[in-house]
Structure 1
Amino acid sequence: MIKSKLTKLLKVALSASLAFPVLMTGSAAYASEHDVKIEADASLLIDYKTGQILHEEDADEAKGIASMTKMLVEYILFQEIEAGNLDWDSEVTISDYAHEISQNYALSNVPLRAGETYTVEELYEALAIYSANGATIALAEKIEGSESAFVDRMRTLADSFGIKDYEIYNTTGLNNSYLNGNHYPDSDEDAENVMSAKGIAKVAMKLLEDYPEVLETSSVPEKIFREGTQDAISMRNWNWMLKGLPNEREGVDGLKTGTTDFAGATFTGTAKRDDQRLISVVMGAGDGFTERSQRFVETGKLLDYGFDEWNYTTLVEQDVTLDDADALPVKNGAEEKVTLKTTETLAYYVPKQEDDEAVGYTFEPNEELLNEKGEIEAPVETGAIVGELVLEDQENIDFIDSDVKESIPVAAAETIERAGFFTVVLNIVKDFFGSLKDRF
């Protein structure tokens, strides 16, 4: 494999011509020295757009997720709406099971009447704003016929997101002991949903990516359920970081809290500042009962750390000619080499307080295009992809998707025509005698 070091190029040519610093040692290396301390059993902070991890602590260990489970329910509900199987005015008849759960006011609930109908929108708002458990079960039964069948679909969805080491037994995140015997077949009576912080962050990323309209409801601080009826109840959002609530923070517009004895206080938050959106996860931040604000205080620390300590920085611009890099040798071409150019922009979160250390890149040509001497055969068309520009220190930059390989395609910056007949024949003769020389 042919490799051309581009550190000098990026340090001199790019930083000069594009007027940006090419500085970083990697998020993992930086975090080890400058990371924020979060008072929780597990915590995670990622960039929504790229999935780059800015902070993690015990983020791979499966822990109780409580009502953060309901983000999977929301995703499936939006799938059904998108597919035309439901609309927001579709009617849902309340089963005895959903009714029984809704009457337990030790849990988060809105009152539901057995046998009566409610719209999908009413139940969804109760789920998203107030984390209403009976409403969640009613939606699951509407979509799949039973909660157990819906759990099977949730598991399939989690698998499709690449989430591993999870356990899902119900739609609400409650301990099975609260479900009046209506728990998933063969599951323990006290079983409870678990997933890692990275797993639940993947759920949040997919939900925001595919159905960003979820933020229209998750950002509502308070709403009256069935206003104007005798069942009217005020639903104050359990996300206290929303406007007008005790831990209000500008830019926060979601996403889902959860609290059980087993999980403690959990929260998947998201906030936007300018064009940057971050996703945070805290798990086991106090018990959620006596320390009701701790999860939001810790989330605030994470968001401060992400927005204030990191810059989203363009490291390599699109359509930059790599003039200082070794050009790619061309076989049987009118020119002996072809210059290279980038085809995309490469950007990362870069620590603001960083050493003056240039990023190292390696050009890795597509070996399938090269002969044994590392040459590409002419003709070569402008824009033809000939390899990749790969970040050298990938072990120091982590992503929520472990399969991410941070690189950008590199293309030919010019067209190299095939050489004339006699030049090609001469090259064949040279190759022939060269091979004889190698043998003897």
Structure 2
Amino acid sequence: MKKTLKLMVMTIFVATFYISSLFTSVSQVAAQPQDIEAESAILVDAESGKILYAKNADIALPPASMTKMMTEYLVHEAIDNGDITWETKIEISEYAYSISANNSFSGVGLRLDYEYTVKELYDAMAIYSDNATTIALAELIAGSEGEFVKMMNNKAAEMGLPDAQFVNSSGLPNSSLGDNYPEGTEQDADNLMSARTVATLAYHLISDYPEMLEVSSIPRQEFEGHEMINYNWMLPGLGGNLEQFSYEGMDGIKTGYTDLAGYSFAGTAERNGQRLISVVMRTESESARFNETRKLMDYGFSNFESKELYEEGYQIEEESNIPVAKGKENAVEIASNQSITMMIESGTEEDYSVEYQLDEELLNEDGELTAPIEEGQEVGKMVLNYSGENEYGYIADDMDVSSEVPIVTTSAVEKSNWFVLIFEQIGEFFSNLFASIKGLFT
């Protein structure tokens, strides 16, 4: 009996220790993702642009075929502007054909003296990372790839991509294009983007043209008898040996590889209404870029949630009113007129606080509002502060809009009538006079 009891106690102890160790391990993993084996990486909330994780995210590196995301954007923009349609026909140029015929480049094998639709070429670019179809689309939109490169760089400036350098539409090094490198660029030049810039470009592409995901999510598609297998192995439905990389919710966007750039990937996935964007650059192998992306995505979906931190109408205790001058009331209450909701790491609510920043131009020298005051009058803003760790900010400074909301008056205050105001002024006069006389004697 004693031995049985002793054995039970020992079993419970071991089980408790194991469970405790398990939870400790989970909490440690939750603090940060496992070491990301990439030279540069970033994870972003696709709705707000908030950065959830970053590693060397501002180093400008060759993005290889991730460059094509800018070409995709400009194709969608040209269609949106009515310059072209998906059914517009394109005849392949000698230059585009020479790229397609080169077996060292990814491609479907285009034909000369044959017209393809924009849709056919776009699908080959987005699914199969075809370089020749990318060049053909650039020539259609701008007349030449050189002019298209100017459009790419202008759009990059418009999007606020400070370290982006585009020298061609496909992402190949210019040195591999022979004498066909775009006019206005250098023969030995390469496209450059940082992980932050790639994520920002992906953010705009998804936000402005979400329909692009309908194509980037296609695992396999036929092109003139040639089966295009999407280079994004994390897409569900590829089957075979590639199924090991499948990731629930993955639907884009673009892989990239050159000798100089290494293996890179800009991915996006959505689960339960939450969409994330990840970028890894210069991983060691084709499979590594997907394994590292999985780490980032697992970290984001497991540890972050959109949370309402402060509801609409929130008031800071002991700061919920402002004194009023020349009014029928001596003070007016204030409150936020919007809630503050943002993507946060689960369990970190206590690390957030708010403060009021009143509009000094609305206050007199005594810190009072002057009547009359309207209900709902904006008098300043409520600003969110964060005291925790691992705060990476946003992919662009102007995206940090959810961390401050207006504060407004909750009621109106009428101006006092002239009779009351005169007596207030008389009282103020004698009060000041008395203070002056008292000052002379003290």
Q: Does the alignment pair 1:411 with 2:408? A: yes
Distance 1:394 1:126 in 2: 47
Residues 39, 431 of structure 1: CA spacing in aligned structure 2 closer, same or farther, 3 A cutoff?
farther
Q: How many Å apart are 1:178 and its aligned residue? A: 2.0
Please name the residue that 1:391 is paired with.
384
Give the TM-score, by structure 2 length: 0.85
Q: How many Å apart are 1:378 and its aligned residue? A: 1.5
Query: Which sits farther off after the overlay, 340-349 or 323-332?
Result: 323-332
Distance 1:435 1:235 in 2: 87
Q: How many Å apart are 1:61 and its aligned residue? A: 1.0
Distance 1:388 1:409 in 2: 4
Please name the residue that 1:402 is paired with.
397
What's the secondary structure of 1:278's corresponding residue? Answer: strand
Q: Does the alignment pair 1:348 with 2:346? A: no
Query: Residue by residue, what CA displacement relative to the aligned partner does 1:382-424 show, whole Å, maximum 9, x if unpaired?
Result: 2221111101338945111124352111111112222222233
What's the secondary structure of 2:279's corresponding residue? Answer: strand
AA at the equivalent of 2:394 = F
Unaligned runs of 5+ in 1: 1-29, 227-231
Match of 1:370 among 359, 363, 373: 363
Match of 1:357 among 350, 358, 365: 350
Alignment check: 8 A CA contact 2:153 2:166 kept: yes
Q: Does the alignment pair 1:421 with 2:418? A: yes
Q: How many Å apart are 1:32 and its aligned residue? A: 12
What's the secondary structure of 2:222's corresponding residue? Answer: strand
**What does 1:85-100 align with in structure 2 at a 5 Å threshold?**
85-100=83-98
Please name the residue that 1:82 is paired with.
80
Please name the residue that 2:178 is paired with.
180
Distance 2:178 2:345 in 1: 51
Residues 376, 189 of structure 1: CA spacing in aligned structure 2 closer, same or farther, 3 A cutoff?
same
Alignment check: 8 A CA contact 1:321 1:413 kept: no
Query: Which sits farther off after the overlay, 325-334 or 239-248?
Result: 325-334
Distance 2:294 2:128 in 1: 21
What's the secondary structure of 2:210's corresponding residue? Answer: coil
Give the TM-score, by structure 1 length: 0.86
Distance 1:432 1:75 in 2: 69
Alignment check: 8 A CA contact 2:30 2:303 kept: no
AA at the equivalent of 2:143 = G
AA at the equivalent of 1:84 = G
What's the secondary structure of 1:329's corresponding residue? Answer: strand
Alignment check: 8 A CA contact 1:129 1:220 kept: yes
Distance 1:49 1:130 in 2: 27
Query: Residue by residue, what CA displacement relative to the aligned partner does 1:212-232 show, whole Å, maximum 9, x if unpaired?
Result: 001010000010013xxxxx2
Query: Which sits farther off after the overlay, 345-354 or 273-282?
Result: 345-354
Query: Residue by residue, what CA displacement relative to the aligned partner does 1:169-198 show, whole Å, maximum 9, x if unpaired?
Result: 000000112213111335333321111111
What's the secondary structure of 1:270's corresponding residue? Answer: strand
Alignment check: 8 A CA contact 1:124 1:135 kept: yes
Please name the residue that 2:4 is paired with.
none
Unaligned runs of 5+ in 2: 1-27
- Kindly name which structure, 1 or 2, has the bigger radius of gyration based on alpha carbons: 2
**What does 1:12-411 align with in structure 2 at a 5 Å threshold?**
34-185=32-183, 187-226=185-224, 232-245=225-238, 246=242, 247-286=245-284, 291-322=285-316, 324-354=318-348, 357-393=350-386, 396=391, 398-403=393-398, 404=400, 406-411=403-408
Q: Which has the higher contact order (CA 8 A, sep 6+)?
A: 1
Distance 2:436 2:406 in 1: 35
Distance 2:421 2:343 in 1: 48
Distance 1:433 1:185 in 2: 82
AA at the equivalent of 2:183 = P
Alignment check: 8 A CA contact 2:57 2:196 kept: yes
Q: How many Å apart are 1:254 and its aligned residue? A: 0.6
AA at the equivalent of 2:409 = A
Distance 1:253 1:434 in 2: 73
Query: Which sits farther off after the overlay, 110-119 or 208-217?
Result: 110-119
Distance 2:61 2:340 in 1: 34
Distance 2:175 2:351 in 1: 56
Distance 1:438 1:263 in 2: 78
Distance 1:93 1:188 in 2: 27
Query: Residue by residue, what CA displacement relative to the aligned partner does 1:326-378 show, whole Å, maximum 9, x if unpaired?
Result: 31222222212211222222122222254x83522110111221112221121
Alignment check: 8 A CA contact 2:33 2:296 kept: no
Q: Matched residue pairs, number?
A: 401
* CA RMSD across the alignment: 2.3
Residues 241, 421 of structure 1: CA spacing in aligned structure 2 closer, same or farther, 3 A cutoff?
same
What's the secondary structure of 1:108's corresponding residue? Answer: coil
Alignment check: 8 A CA contact 2:266 2:278 kept: yes
Distance 2:160 2:436 in 1: 51
Query: Which sits farther off after the overlay, 88-97 or 405-414?
Result: 405-414
Alignment check: 8 A CA contact 1:323 1:339 kept: no
Distance 2:49 2:432 in 1: 50
Residues 213, 434 of structure 1: CA spacing in aligned structure 2 closer, same or farther, 3 A cutoff?
farther
Distance 2:263 2:396 in 1: 26
